Structure 1
Amino acid sequence: VTLTLLFRLQAIFMAFWVVMLAAFPESMMQAQGWELTPELQQMAKFIALAFTGIAVISWMMPAWAGSNIKKPAMVMGVYLNLLFMAFNAFDLITGAVPANGTNLGGFVPQIILVVLFYMKSRE
């Protein structure tokens, strides 16, 4: 496993969320126990756009960073994923989202990415 591969996997993970938010917002909201309102649908589009940016940056980062890829790996692969996880954990703890398989299972790929990004950026 290389940092380039990890950045590509992170881009694919984010692209999955983009597709789900843009193409299937009702399913995404139902998984949270929310009713899809026009306002939530609009918010899903904006979140999908932001996630598209993260996906593109993740995909391109190996080419942009070249041999200096370790620092962006820590920032995007470790710190950014930990921040996403902290926000998700807060939402679970406060009951803003249900503690169901969808929400808890979402931590698995992020934990794997964080661990691998950390290990590879320290080599």
Structure 2
Amino acid sequence: MELSVSLCMIVKNEESVLDRCLASVAHLVDEVIIVDTGSTDKTKEIASKYTSKIFDFEWINDFSAARNFAAEQATGDWILVLDADEYIDEENYQEFVDGLKEDNGQFDTYGVKIINFTGLYGEKLIQNHH
């Protein structure tokens, strides 16, 4: 079963972390959608190394509105949502895609475990399900 995955991201002033994120995932997805909510740094310049699908969205204090706008731009069968300070483990991502192919359209949503390194030196871990 062929399927396509769109990465949709909402960003603002993420120049310090965006390159790491996109380098980990851009080659794995079929398209990258970046929705910028008013960056004043080099966020859009960095994003342009990975995609031409960069959209401006006026921030109205509503993540849902920005997220829905990003989803409207996507053409993939599935949408992967990441924050700029997250990145993908390629082996884990491939297991996810294999699972999508094997489910034959049985499921509409998948969840993943996100591991966040916190603390001054990243010495603590927090796990979230997304």
TM-score w.r.t. length of structure 2? 0.28
Q: Which has the higher contact order (CA 8 A, sep 6+)?
A: 1
Q: Which has the higher strand share?
A: 2
